[in-house]
Structure 1
Amino acid sequence: MYTAKGQLDSSSMIRQYSPLVRRLAHQMIAKLPANVEIDDLIQVGLIGLTDAMSRFDSAQGVQFETFATQRIRGAMLDELRGGDWMSRGTRRQQREIEGAVHKVEQRLGRAPSESEIAAEMGMSLDEYQDLLGKVRGTQLIYLEDMSGDEGDEDFLDRHVADNANNPMAVLQDHRMREALVQAIKNLPEREQYVMSMYYEHDMNLKEIAVVLKVTESRVCQLHSQAIARLRVKLREW
């Protein structure tokens, strides 16, 4: 993998380690919201690989793959932090919806309807549905959800790092999945359909709209509503 001058052969190295970049991207995206694109992570990872090639020093006694893995993952994490998936205003509106869902659910002892949530928020049903469309809920977890007592926002480091060899992390992930599956089962029927088609069958909003015989904007509203309900349940978990 070296040129005649004893330098790393960039082209050969990129060809050899591109599968590593893709593997790390797929491992990471499995724990991220659906709106994060795999191609974006791969592109950033390749930049991290290039950076690793320029900084690698074999005299340090570290294998290149180990060094590159750290650089690639670090580049992806930096990109995710910098992207700040949703604006603060949108997150605030999302939390207002979740707060209303929680209050009505506690009062009624069941999943509230959209009209009941709208009433709790002092809105008409049309206004509430417009808000759902604007929020476009896509995340089950925000970085600040996982902040520590000191306000450290280390969600990405703790939840996107390679925890395959950490038994506690594996157990927590299993419990989280079980809680999520149960929460989805308790969604209103139409919202269950939306979540199933979107996440299990990889259908886009337009395709789901055709199946449900509603508008694409209505599917977006149902998806946002489902996400709000799930976040309330997972916060309890």
Structure 2
Amino acid sequence: MDSTLSDTQTNGIASVWRSWKAAGDPEAKRKLIEHYVSLVDYVTSRLAIGLPRNVSKDDLASYGIMGLIDAVDKFDLERGLQFETYASWRIRGAIIDGLRQADWVPRSVREKARKIEEAYQRLEQQHLRSVTDGEISAYLQVSEQEFQQMVQEVSVASLVSLEDPIREEESETRMTLLVDERAKNPEDSVRDIYLKESLAKAIERLTEKERTVVSLFYFEELSLSEIAEVMSLSPSRISQLHSKAILRLRGHLGRAKEQLMQQ
């Protein structure tokens, strides 16, 4: 995403930001939303690639606009963060929330995802390493071919897995741990450090290909189809690798959450 601005554009948008944040000028807010609306198109296009065809891109865009408005309202100019980065996460979160509320993932798919996640959680806790497809298949009492089919079926659900709330009463998600957010109090700071360390350990346990997919998708912001080209693999194979990575991470972070609640 090319968000580089000229000096003139930078100075101009900075003035609009000051008008909105200092004076609450609604016209300035409107200009900011219009200026950054391309972020919604960018995030929507990336997410739409891995979603079923029955999910309307217009619906995604509507959710995304709400996220952009929320980002403009809540962005803190004094923190020195790039608005584009902050807004992209807010937009993505709003889209994920909209999809979750619409309950677009069939119950049977959710159940399969839960079983695979539980298998990763139990076996990797038992072996203290990344477990193989064969070990997961044996635990689930299915063939490896059936397991691969299960992973393929839950691939669309795994796109939003890291966006699930860490705690039910909060909006903070697992992926926001990777974004520079200001801790509200010492307890939150300790919790966030612990969960970041847990996530880092979980990523280290992924296979090399799974780590590459996670890095390219979440950090380099490539789409799944672009990652397929980079890694010379089929899009369906990339989707499988992404799904396995997310299910492993969910299992590991699930254990971390349980340990955190016991403290």
Normalising to structure 1: TM-score of the pair? 0.62
1:90 is displaced (CA, Å) by 2.5
- Mapped to 1, the partners of 2:164 and 2:109 lie a distance apart of 12
Q: Which runs of 5+ in 1 are unaligned?
A: 1-8, 50-72, 148-153
Equivalent runs, 1:112-127 vs 2, <5 Å: 112-127=131-146
- Mapped to 1, the partners of 2:128 and 2:120 lie a distance apart of 11
- Structure 2 vs 1, CA of residues 128 and 169 (structure 1 numbering), >3 Å: closer, same or farther? same
- Structure 2 vs 1, CA of residues 125 and 174 (structure 1 numbering), >3 Å: closer, same or farther? same
Query: Mean alpha-carbon deviation: is it higher for 186-195 or for 165-174?
Result: 165-174
2:237 paired residue number: 218
1:146 paired residue number: 167
Does the CA contact (< 8 Å) of 1:21 and 1:45 recur in 2?
no
Amino acid corresponding to residue 33 of structure 2 in structure 1: S
Based on CA coordinates, which of the two structures has the bigger radius of gyration? 1
2:88 paired residue number: none
- Mapped to 2, the partners of 1:102 and 1:48 lie a distance apart of 35
Residue number among 160, 177, 181 corresponding to 2:200 in the alignment? 181
- Where 1:203 maps in the other structure, the secondary structure is coil
Does the CA contact (< 8 Å) of 2:129 and 2:205 recur in 1?
no
The Cα offsets for residues 142-166 of structure 1, whole Å up to 9 and x where unpaired, read as 35x623xxxxxx232x668xx8461
Calculate the aligned-residue CA RMSD, in Å: 4.0
1:206 is displaced (CA, Å) by 1.8
- Mapped to 1, the partners of 2:68 and 2:128 lie a distance apart of 50
The Cα offsets for residues 164-193 of structure 1, whole Å up to 9 and x where unpaired, read as 461233443333222212210121111111
Aligned residues: 186
Pairing 1:103–2:122 present: yes
- Mapped to 2, the partners of 1:93 and 1:196 lie a distance apart of 25
- Structure 2 vs 1, CA of residues 173 and 80 (structure 1 numbering), >3 Å: closer, same or farther? farther
- Where 1:178 maps in the other structure, the secondary structure is helix
1:18 paired residue number: 33
1:81 is displaced (CA, Å) by 5.9
1:134 paired residue number: 153
- Structure 2 vs 1, CA of residues 79 and 21 (structure 1 numbering), >3 Å: closer, same or farther? farther
Does the CA contact (< 8 Å) of 2:224 and 2:239 recur in 1?
yes
Residue number among 196, 199, 222 corresponding to 2:215 in the alignment? 196
2:184 paired residue number: 166
- Structure 2 vs 1, CA of residues 232 and 165 (structure 1 numbering), >3 Å: closer, same or farther? closer
- Where 2:131 maps in the other structure, the secondary structure is coil
1:91 paired residue number: 110
1:233 paired residue number: 252
1:208 paired residue number: 227
Percent identity (aligned): 29
Does the CA contact (< 8 Å) of 1:44 and 1:79 recur in 2?
no
Q: Which runs of 5+ in 2 are unaligned?
A: 1-24, 49-56, 72-90, 257-263
Amino acid corresponding to residue 141 of structure 2 in structure 1: G
